[in-house]
């Protein structure tokens, strides 16, 4: 008797080819369309009806059943409220990581089991190796599409029960398979950005939920250059949307967000892509998530502080409540609220949300902050 697998069908080409791969491999396949967001105040920007229609067309073409489930309430409570709270606190969260942990690999797995599934599957570009010590999450074969960064916080139970049919494929191979199989969405473009924002301007979306608190834009030396619209709209390393070009007192070079003075509601900026305040060698995190047995002593590995960043060698000192990380080389724009993800070669070890950056003694306090508080 073949295993019954329920595939998360989003309407995109990746999940469609994942279902195709499994059906051709002899699994008993069904699909599940998850409705995770509902925006009755702005239905014009909601892609769910189009996504559902594409999912239905794919499943009809493959001759498999498509189940539907509404996770909007759970998504709001477990993902979106956290997203808002983090932005209100001046941090930059990654809702995709939390969505994977709470919705796509927890709520989905629970619902699929209730439908009688043995396993679940998704169209993520990642791999699983089953070892005597349990499952191991591996990078996807395509380095340009590897999504293990976004999966580091799922638990071992979910990893054991999950198949990643695209893990060994490159994106161009997936598109080619979709065309060859005549899938109706073979040329549908990939979705980008945060799912619930869609094509909307980020500030416009966020302003509907959180009140803006404008304040000063200040250089690291304490000079005021202009006004920001609210610290929640900016992230470290950001260049676009600052509105401070053409200042005669400074060289004609791009400005970047290099810090946030939360206590005084000031946005700190500096010139140069690799401004010293954008570079850090040390950071501390929130409580870590592990996909391996939690280490109890300092260890060496590589790490990414954002998706598609080149991995950087580091030393990690773990504890049950945090990670202390020291990089061999400075990393750029490590950002509180984002995640650091740890690797041993191709194996994802786990990761954690960045709590704070630790600077050398001579750069411990931003000059603007010191001047304001002195």
Strands 347-358 and 279-285, bridge-based pairing? antiparallel
Identify the active-site residue in 59, 99, 301, 348: 99
**Burial readout 290-312 (b: 16 or more C-beta within 10 A, e: otherwise):** bbbeebeeeeebbbbbbbebeeb
Residues in Cβ contact with 9 at an 8 Å cutoff, skipping those fewer than 6 apart: 15, 16, 19, 31, 32, 33, 55, 58, 59, 66
195 is catalytic: yes
DSSP per-residue letters across 280-316: EEEEEESS-EESSPPPSS-EEEEEESSTTPPPEEEEE
Question: Rounded CA gap, 223 and 77, in Å?
Answer: 41
Identify the active-site residue in 59, 195, 348, 366: 195
Identify the burial level of 361 via C-beta atoms within 10 angstroms of its C-beta, where 0-12 means exposed, 13-18 middle and 19 or more buried. exposed
Using alpha carbons, select from 324, 269, 275, 266 the residue that is nearest to residue 295: 324
Question: Rounded CA gap, 343 and 117, in Å?
Answer: 31
H-only helix segments in 78-233: 81-88, 95-99, 108-114, 148-151, 156-160, 171-180, 202-207
Active site residues: 99, 195
């Amino acid at each position: 008797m073949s295993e019954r697998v329920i595939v998360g069908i989003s309407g995109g080409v990746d999940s469609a080819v994942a279902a195709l791969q499994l059906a051709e491999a002899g699994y008993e396949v069904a699909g599940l369309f998850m409705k995770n967001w509902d925006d009755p105040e702005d239905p014009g920007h909601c892609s769910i009806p189009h996504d559902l229609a594409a999912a239905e067309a794919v499943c009809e073409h493959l001759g498999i059943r498509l189940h539907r489930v509404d996770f909007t309430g759970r998504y709001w409570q477990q993902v979106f409220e956290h997203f808002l709270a983090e932005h209100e606190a001046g941090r930059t969260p990654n809702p995709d990581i939390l969505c994977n942990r709470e919705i796509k690999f927890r709520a989905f797995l629970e619902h699929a089991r209730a439908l009688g599934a043995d396993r679940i599957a998704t169209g993520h570009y990642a791999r699983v190796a089953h070892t005597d010590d349990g499952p191991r999450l591996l990078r996807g074969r395509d380095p340009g599409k590897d999504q293990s960064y976004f999966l580091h916080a799922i638990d071992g139970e979910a990893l054991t029960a999950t198949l990643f049919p695209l893990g060994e494929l490159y994106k161009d191979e997936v598109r080619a398979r979709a065309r060859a199989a005549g899938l109706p969405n073979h040329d549908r473009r990939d979705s980008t950005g945060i799912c619930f924002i869609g094509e909307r301007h980020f500030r416009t979306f966020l302003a509907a939920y959180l009140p803006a608190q404008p304040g000063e834009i200040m250089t690291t030396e304490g000079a005021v250059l202009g006004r920001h619209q609210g610290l929640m709209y900016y992230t470290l390393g950001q260049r676009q949307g600052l509105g401070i070009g053409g200042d005669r007192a400074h060289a004609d070079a791009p400005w970047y967000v290099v810090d946030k003075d939360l206590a005084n509601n000031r946005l700190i900026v500096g010139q140069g892509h690799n401004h010293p305040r954008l570079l850090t060698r040390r950071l501390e995190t929130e409580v870590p998530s592990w996909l391996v047995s939690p280490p109890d002593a300092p260890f060496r590995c590589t790490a990414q502080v954002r998706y598609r960043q080149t991995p950087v060698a580091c030393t990690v000192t773990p504890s049950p409540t945090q990670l202390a990380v020291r990089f061999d080389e400075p990393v750029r724009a490590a950002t509180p609220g984002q995640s650091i993800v740890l690797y041993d070669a191709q194996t994802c070890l786990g990761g954690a949300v960045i709590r704070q950056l630790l600077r050398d003694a001579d750069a411990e306090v931003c000059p603007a902050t010191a001047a304001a508080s002195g």
